[in-house]
Amino acid sequence: MSDTRPKPSLYGAKSLGSQQIRLLYLNPGHESDTLTGHLEVVDLKKCPPYEALSYEWGSPEKPCIFTATENNHRVNITESLYHALRDLRHAAPAPPREPSLTRVIWADGICINQEDLDERESQVSIMGSIYRGASRVITYIGQESDTSADAVALAASLLRAFENRTRVDLQDASGLAKAGLPPATDKSWKALKELCLRRWAGRCWCAQEFLCNKDLIMMCGRRVFPEWTTLLSVVRLVYARQLPAAIIPSHDEDPDSLRDCLISLINLRSPLQYMFKPQRKQLLKLLQSFHPFQVSDPREKVYSLLGHSLDHEDLGIEVDYTISPEQLYTTVAAEIATEYQDLRLLLSNLHHKSLSNLPSWVPDWSTWYFGSDLGGTGYDHTLFASGHTRASLKVIGTRLQTKFSVAGCLLDTVTWVGDKILPYYTTHEEPVATRRREWITKQLEIVRKLDPYPFLGNSGTQNPDITTVLWKTLISNTNHDESIAKAEYVDYFNAHYHHSNSQVQETDHPNDARGSKDKDASDISEKARQFCDAVRWRSRYRRVATTESGYFGAVPQTAQVGDILCLFQGGRHLYIVRPADSGQPGNRSRETFKYVGHAYVHGLMGGEIVREEWYRKRKGEIILL
């Protein structure tokens, strides 16, 4: 007869207390040895030194075995955890036998009873404290491959070349050799791209664990990186155009935007090196900063950040896996809006949501698109559309039927929307440059038809330069250095408008010295590149549009003819909304709307609207569904 008695559990019958954790005492062993060790329950505030493991869970399947030495109990674990623990355990002592060296580790996949929902919720709520309390955090990015060591070595060499002010050009074989770098055909360059595409970098849990502790090492297999910054600094230098873009994966090679994530990680962690201990932030700022990172369960985008949040208790946000992602996101957005009266919440709404049942004004923090601004250009200090007015936000209703009331004014109606802007700005070079010139010429004709341009009050001339209207709209009047674009920035626009390989060559003059001609061509190309960078930063997911009153602007790429341009008090931007129903016929003030996104409209971004007499009469309550 088979034994029908319940099998003993590794975790016992009781859940952990609110301030208790389990530590794994991992036994040494050779690579092929069985993975063994034992668990001990300890008080988080009175526990022995331990290392906290951060790793990507990967597949939820658990085909691998861990054996507990205290009762020979076999536990199934994920393949990713198995490889991490195998690479972390100390090597077994060789004869004559030396004292056995266990390694004390906290790893969520084995130290938390994942089958006990109450325990899982309790442990998730103190995850930040667990990682902060560790002697150090080990970020394990996966198994070592045949070429990963070459990739790490190449990254370190690239940083040395940059520190030595050596220019890196993949087309210059002799220059690469002088810089101590391999030829462009060497396998290590491909290996470096593959290292950038390791999926740990895109996981939200790994990201928040990356920030918890000042003492952190990164490991690939058993190999420890020279510094935690080694790989991330290379990516940041590419983004800063200090190293060639071809070093890291292209947009097509990186569908999960892991480059954005690596940049976010180094930007978020770097300040911690100068702090006595990591500082907590408001939940909204955390959600904006961690927007690019992915989670298997959308609820964990919020729950993974609670340990870093200084205000989640005041907001009443607790770990609860019984509510839906839509309900959680709506509750979080409503509490943040009510508590802080901060319109930056809206700016985390991207052009598409995976959670389709969310109210239009509630951000889907589980969805990210490459190149989106982490704050939705929410920290754009160059814009003051609502002047010095204060936001007045109210949340009406409960659960998914929540409405959002914003004080403001309906301004104008969108009458035309153009093509998406991005396809004309993927590069400043040919063949895109030719298509861009044709497109710009058409946009200039559209602006010309708006003459005379409708400026309010004394904000502008009645005979504006149509070129100025266009170029300031494309970049939201913000240059590539994130400051207000002054009049002379038109030179950058002209450089990008007229730029092509042939035209750069035509700048040569017979009497010029060769060095002077090359410098002129290089300056034109650099200005063109910088203007294209500024357009991509501000208008990657926008279209140009015109309004019924004759204004020209850049609106979300999902905007449509018939959408409404409006001002929200306290907002730096203008906003696009879409009528959701007719309300009372003829009474627009009773209508409700769906939020589409924020916009730039030339001539209305400096507080001009609120200085008009008619604004006080027309301002009121705008209801978003």
Pairing of strands 103-106, 51-55: parallel
Cis ω for the linkage preceding 452 (within 30 of 0): yes
Tokens describing residue 373:
């601004």
Tally DSSP H helices, then E strands, for the chain.
20, 17
Q: Which are the contacts of 526, defined by CB distance < 8 A and separation ≥ 6?
A: none
Q: At what angle do helices 466-474 and 490-498 cross, to 10 degrees?
A: 90
The whole-angstrom separation of Cα 268 and Cα 465 is 42
Q: What does the alpha-carbon distance between residue 327 and residue 333 come to, in Å, rounded to a whole number?
A: 10
Q: What is the pLDDT of residue 504?
A: 42
The predicted structure's pLDDT at residue 549: 96
Q: What is the pLDDT of residue 11?
A: 85
The residue ranges of the chain whose pLDDT is under 50 are 1-7, 375-378, 461, 501-511, 513-514, 582-586
Q: Are strands 393-396 and 403-420 parallel, antiparallel or unpaired?
A: antiparallel
The residues facing 405 across adjacent strands are: 394, 623
Q: How many CA atoms lie within 13 A of 35 on its CB side?
A: 20
Provide DSSP, 202-246.
GBHHHHHHTTS-S-EEEEETTEEPSSTTHHHHHHHHHHTTSS-GG
What is residue 374's predicted lDDT score, i.e. its pLDDT? Answer: 55
For helices 514-539 and 466-474, what crossing angle results, to 10°? 70
Query: Which of 495, 511, 515, 512 lies closest to 503 in space, CA to CA?
Result: 495
For residues 487 and 614, the answer to whether their CB atoms sit within 8 Å is no
> DSSP letter string over 487-505?
GGGHHHHHHHHH--HHHHH
188 and 151 in contact (C-beta within 8 Å)? yes
User: Rounded to an integer, what distance in angstroms lies between the CA atom of residue 593 and that of residue 20?
Assistant: 48
Single-letter amino acid, residue 381: H
Phi, psi of 163 (to 5 degrees): -60, -30
Q: What is the pTM of this model?
A: 0.88
Instruction: Take residue 566 and report the two structure tokens written for it.
Output: 């409006």
- The neighbour count for residue 156, using CB atoms within 10 Å, is 17
The Cβ of residue 220 has, within 10 Å, a number of other Cβ atoms equal to 23
Tell which residue, 126, 121, 108, has the closest CA to residue 15.
121
Return d(Cα 212, Cα 272) in angstroms, integer: 9
How far apart (Å, rounded) are the C-alpha atoms in residues 144 and 146? 7
**Residue 56, phi then psi, degrees to nearest 5:** -85, 130
- C-alpha span between 543 and 509 (Å, rounded): 39
Amino acid at 334: A
For residue 96, what pLDDT is reported? Answer: 53
Q: Which residue has the tokens 């049942």?
A: 357
Contact (CB, 8 A) for 425 and 532: yes
Residues 6+ apart with CB under 8 A from 576: 414, 555, 556, 559, 563, 564, 565, 566, 596, 597, 598, 599
Q: What is the pLDDT of residue 236?
A: 95
